[in-house]
């Protein structure tokens, strides 16, 4: 397939920019994955000496096992044979990545993508070798050359739709969402020539394996902890710069530890009054709106002061509206 820079890349850029513009929280990992795949495809001049050519990174089970070529194992997922191949995969990544990253958090999403990449490539390699050993399928699978992010995308589709009870359109066919990846695997294999059946199947199996492992382990996996640590280390210069331009806070004088009262509460420990539902500062033990007392666990008790007990509910609401309206 001829590699040209036509009109599809600007369309991808415009679509990605419009999607990110409407989001309150911008998912950074999805943006980095989009940028990495696109930059590798465009191969700007300053990266020519760093990025290997596509001929050296094709996923091929025979070459990977013969030469133990980890470069082909990992980098092949980030290479694409043409502009339409790239744009189709990146549109799918944008849609799936935004939903998954905003729901699970950037660190866990990065951990998941890393795990799915390794598992999908590993399962594809295992399938190709197994078909050779047990069925002597060498030419169609063991010697197949493939590239692209599709395997990871199929795995992400399995994770995204795993708990869905809705229906989904797959190339015009309505299927239950949890089976959408299987339907897409069959339809693409039937109507799109030259695609990697094992690569897509390996992605689906990787998604199922990830869900199975995740259901047995409720805590944060080691990769998530690593990515959280990296994110914290990379963000501290930004926090320092923000701190330099932040307006100075009001100083609090007096005896004792600054920032805490004798019970260990801080000003950021806000509590909600059960009488009028007003959110009070952690420094206060009496509701600033209605005068109700705060108990030890951070909520106001049913026994309130005489002043607040005599006030009807409508009066409490009116005072709260006046306070917020100032």
Interatomic CA distance for residues 241 and 243, integer angstroms = 5
Residue 171: how many CA atoms within 13 Å on its side-chain side? 13
User: Is 150 a residue of the active site?
Assistant: yes
d(CA 20, CA 28): 10
Residue of 80, 200, 300, 308 marked catalytic: 200
Question: For residue 260, with 0-12 CB atoms within 10 Å meaning exposed, 13-18 middle and 19 or more buried, which class applies?
Answer: middle
| Distance (Å) of CA 229 to CA 104, 225, 307 | 17, 6, 50
Q: Which of 150, 196, 300, 308 is catalytic?
A: 150
Task: Tell me, yes or no, if 307 is annotated catalytic.
Answer: no
The count of other CB atoms within 10 Å of the CB of residue 63 is: 16
Residues paired with 168 in a beta bridge:
175
Question: Which residue reads 């050779």 in tokens?
Answer: 132
Cβ neighbours around 111 below 10 Å, total = 22
The residues that are catalytic are: 150, 200
């Amino acid at each position: 397939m001829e590699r040209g820079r036509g009109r599809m890349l600007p369309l991808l850029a415009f679509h990605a920019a419009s999607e990110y513009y409407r989001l309150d929280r911008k998912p950074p990992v999805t943006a980095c994955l989009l940028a990495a795949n696109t930059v590798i495809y465009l191969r700007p001049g300053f990266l020519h000496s760093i990025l290997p050519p596509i001929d050296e990174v094709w996923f091929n089970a025979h070459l990977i096992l013969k030469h133990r070529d980890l470069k082909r194992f990992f980098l092949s997922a980030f290479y694409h044979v043409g502009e339409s191949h790239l744009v189709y995969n990146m549109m799918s990544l944008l849609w799936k990545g935004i939903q998954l990253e905003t729901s699970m958090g950037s660190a866990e999403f990065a951990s998941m993508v890393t795990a799915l990449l390794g598992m999908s490539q590993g399962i594809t390699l295992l399938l190709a070798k197994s078909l050779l050993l047990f069925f002597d399928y060498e030419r169609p699978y063991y010697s197949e050359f493939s590239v692209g992010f599709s395997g990871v995308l199929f795995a992400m589709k399995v994770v995204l739709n795993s708990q869905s009870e809705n229906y989904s359109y797959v190339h015009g066919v309505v299927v239950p969402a949890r089976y959408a990846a299987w339907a897409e695997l069959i339809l693409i294999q039937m109507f799109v020539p030259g695609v990697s059946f094992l690569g897509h199947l390996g992605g689906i199996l990787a998604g199922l394996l990830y869900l199975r492992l995740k259901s047995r382990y409720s805590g944060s996996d080691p990769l998530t902890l690593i990515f959280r640590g990296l994110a914290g280390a990379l963000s501290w210069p930004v926090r320092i710069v923000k701190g330099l331009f932040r307006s100075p806070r009001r100083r609090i004088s007096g005896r004792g530890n600054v920032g805490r009262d004798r019970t260990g509460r801080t000003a950021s420990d806000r509590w909600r009054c059960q009488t009028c539902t007003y959110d009070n500062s952690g420094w206060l033990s009496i509701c600033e709106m209605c005068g109700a007392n705060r108990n030890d666990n951070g909520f106001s008790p049913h026994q309130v002061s005489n002043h607040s007990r005599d006030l009807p509910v409508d009066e409490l609401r009116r005072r709260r509206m006046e306070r917020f309206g100032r």
